[in-house]
Amino acid sequence: MEPKNHTGVPDFLLLGLTEDPELQPFIYSLFLSVYLVSVLGNLLIVLAICSDPHLHTPMYFLLSHLSFNDICLNTTTIPKMLVNIQAQSQHIPYTGCLTQAGFVVVFVSFENCLLAAMAYDRYVAICHPLRYTVIMTPRLCALLILLSLLLSVGDALLHGLMVLHLSFCTNREIPHFFCELAQVINLACSDIFINNILLYFVAGLFGGVPVSGIIFSYIQIVSSVLRIPSVEGKRKAFSTCGSHLSVVSLFYGTGFGVYIFSAVTDSSRKAAVASVMYTVVPQMMNPFIYSLRNRDMKGALRKLISEVPAL
């Protein structure tokens, strides 16, 4: 029987990471633990920054938004997967799938912009320390957040409008644990050439421009630090960038690794497993990186935790 095109697709099927029913309890427990650790860790970062006046600086202002964004990104993908495993169902409504794909685009794009803004903050702090408070004003920080959010939402809306014009076949199986935009587009029966061009162009734009800005910032930072005469001064300067550089390396390193793995493997299911390293792991590790490598953050977290029993 030939598949029929139709735009009113009732739902899609999320195949998840494996079809083995014996592994489902393990995957459920693993992702539930990862989600709880991620949400708790990032929430503590946000609360610590909000409660400690010493952390009301541009760097921590941007970090609090990064942590909140990580909570939102994991909340967009993991809970639906856990519900499907618990209910032994692979279904996700058509509108729900497009909504999930749109929010993933928003939060991933926003994270790219935030990492670039944080790199610029470190560049100003190290290369222009005397003008830091003049340049990195609260108004500029708010504008950076607002501009990043508007660009991210605009990106998602543009892709969403393009997907709404597609017709889908009876094959509605997505070999992933969430509705990834590229996977949804590939299920369409109609011409997806324009969608793919737009997808790659915007991905290159949101990936290339922030990465270029981060690389430029760190080239200038390294150049400035090398001109510092004392070893202790160099160590202190580099230590202020250590956490951010670790987060950047984890985020883009896992993303680039997933891209390479997807290009060399023919298995969509294996590519979905690899994408966990990009969509889940960095968001869970970011709180550990900043809490373990940052003395001010460790102090704020200890103060926050010590005040909990007194509430």
pLDDT of residue 5: 44
pLDDT in tens, 142-156: 999 999 999 999 999
For the segment 119-139, what is each residue's pLDDT rounded down to a tens digit? 999 999 999 999 999 999 999
Q: What's the rounded Cα separation, in Å, for the pair 244 and 28?
A: 31
Please compute the mean of the pLDDT values over residues 222-239 and round it to a whole number: 83
Residue 233 vs residue 154, higher pLDDT: 154
Please write the tens of the pLDDT for every residue from 246-263: 899 888 888 777 777 666
- Is a pLDDT exceeding 70 seen at residue 288? yes
pLDDT tens by residue, 211-226: 999 999 999 999 998 8
Dihedral of CA atoms 161, 269, 6, 10 in degrees, nearest 10, equals -90
Stretch among 108-112, 134-138, 179-183 having the lowest mean pLDDT? 179-183
Determine what percent of the chain falls in helix, strand and coil, rounding each to the nearest 5: 75, 5, 20
Q: Domains of the chain, with CATH numbers?
A: 11-307 (1.20.1070.10)
Which is more confidently placed, 231 or 47? 47
Question: Average model confidence (pLDDT) for the chain?
Answer: 87
**Alpha-carbon torsion, ordered 183, 186, 192, 193, to 10 deg:** 80
Average pLDDT over residues 287-299: 80
